[in-house]
């Protein structure tokens, strides 16, 4: 069931989204060669708690960490670890926070030091694919309009669309209906209505889009070892322009 949120709920979701955005901004200066991904995880957890929220990922279906940190060919749900980021890595921080029962969710891929041109291209166009999807997130459109826009943009730029994971509704649950795939057909899927809130999250690859699940049963990795980028915003559907709850830029 797709829920339409009340004004009170939207106020809380806006705060949750803003906490996620603030967490990204807080961490960004620390995303440098030498820092461990576990350290970033712990800093995120402390920061989210200091804002009166909780890290939604921790314990979600047994996920063991506060945030997901995915490096290079890891697409999503990477485990923070003692791995030290190194110059040339790209790293995705997927941060979710719950404030008074309502969730915000935003993933963002960052460059560590100097990265390859192809990774700049991948990141730049994955972010743009997200905004192409967001443009379609308005009342009267269908979920398929978002999916089509993301896929078209990605494929026009020769990037692979990971099929196994998708965006989602969000509210009192981190993952609610509807699914928001990153590929599909215009005019299909559920109708979007004012005051629905969805997370749109293209996961694109520089190479083939096929993926496998790591032995840890969580982390999704590209089969061919090519790098992947992931950009995600939590977005409110209105009759006009969508409202992004998780900030404009990181």
- Cα 14 to Cα 119, 140, 246: the distances in Å are 32, 22, 8
Closest to ligand MF3 by CB, 140 vs 179, is 179
Q: Say how far apart CA 210 and CA 98 lie, in whole Å.
A: 32
Q: Report in angstroms how near the CB of residue 177 gets to Co ion at its nearest.
A: 13
Q: Report in angstroms how near the CB of residue 169 gets to Co ion at its nearest.
A: 10
Answer yes or no whether residue 105 interacts with Co ion by CB under 5 A.
yes
Q: Which stretch binds ligand MF3 (CB under 6 A): 6-14, 27-35, 57-65, 148-156?
A: 57-65
Instruction: Label the pairing between strands 160-161 and 228-230.
Output: unpaired
Select from 53, 68, 91, 143 the one that contacts ligand MF3 (CB under 6 A): 68
Answer yes or no whether residue 20 interacts with ligand MF3 by CB under 6 A.
no
Q: Which stretch binds ligand MF3 (CB under 6 A): 29-37, 55-63, 80-88, 113-121?
A: 55-63
x/- mask, Co ion, residues 167-206, rule CB under 5 A, reads --------------------------------x-------
Residue 60 binds which entry of ligand MF3, Co ion, none, CB below 5-8 Å type-dependent: ligand MF3
Residues 121-160 binding ligand MF3 (CB under 6 A) are none
Q: Report in angstroms how near the CB of residue 225 gets to ligand MF3 at its nearest.
A: 22
Nearest to 74 by CA among 215, 174, 212: 212
Closest to ligand MF3 by CB, 169 vs 184, is 169
Question: Terminal CA-to-CA distance of the chain, rounded, Å?
Answer: 32
**Residues 123, 124, 128, 130, Cα dihedral to 10°:** 20
**How many residues bind to ligand MF3 according to rule CB under 6 A?**
10
Question: 90 - beta bridge partners?
Answer: 111
The beta strand positions in the chain, using DSSP E, are 54-55, 68-71, 74-76, 90-99, 102-111, 160-161, 167-169, 176-180, 197-200, 203-205, 211-213, 220-222, 228-230, 233-236, 243-244
DSSP, collapsed to helix, strand or coil, labels residue 9 as helix
Q: Which residues bind ligand MF3 (CB under 6 A)?
A: 57, 60, 63, 68, 77, 94, 96, 105, 107, 232
């Amino acid at each position: 069931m797709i829920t339409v949120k009340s004004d009170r709920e939207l106020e809380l979701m806006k705060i949750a989204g803003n906490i996620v955005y603030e967490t990204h901004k807080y961490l960004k200066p620390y995303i440098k060669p030498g820092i461990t991904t576990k350290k970033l995880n712990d800093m995120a957890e402390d920061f989210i708690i200091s804002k009166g929220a909780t890290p939604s990922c921790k314990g979600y279906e047994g996920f063991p960490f506060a945030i997901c940190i995915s490096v290079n060919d890891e697409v999503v749900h990477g485990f923070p670890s003692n791995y030290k980021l190194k110059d040339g890595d790209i790293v995705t921080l997927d941060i979710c926070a719950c404030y008074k029962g309502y969730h915000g969710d935003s993933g963002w891929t960052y460059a560590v030091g100097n990265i390859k041109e192809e990774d700049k291209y991948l990141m730049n166009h994955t972010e743009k694919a997200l905004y192409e999807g967001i443009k379609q997130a308005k009342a009267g459109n269908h979920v398929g309009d978002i999916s089509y826009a993301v896929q078209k943009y990605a494929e026009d730029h020769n990037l692979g669309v990971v099929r196994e994971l998708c965006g989602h509704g969000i509210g009192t649950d981190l993952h609610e209906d509807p699914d928001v795939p990153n590929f599909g057909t215009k005019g299909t899927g559920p109708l979007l209505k004012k005051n629905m809130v969805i997370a749109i999250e293209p996961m694109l690859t520089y190479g083939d889009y096929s993926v496998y699940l790591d032995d840890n049963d969580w982390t999704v990795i590209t089969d061919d070892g090519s790098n992947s980028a992931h950009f995600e915003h939590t977005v409110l559907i209105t009759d006009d322009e969508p409202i992004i709850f998780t900030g404009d830029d990181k």
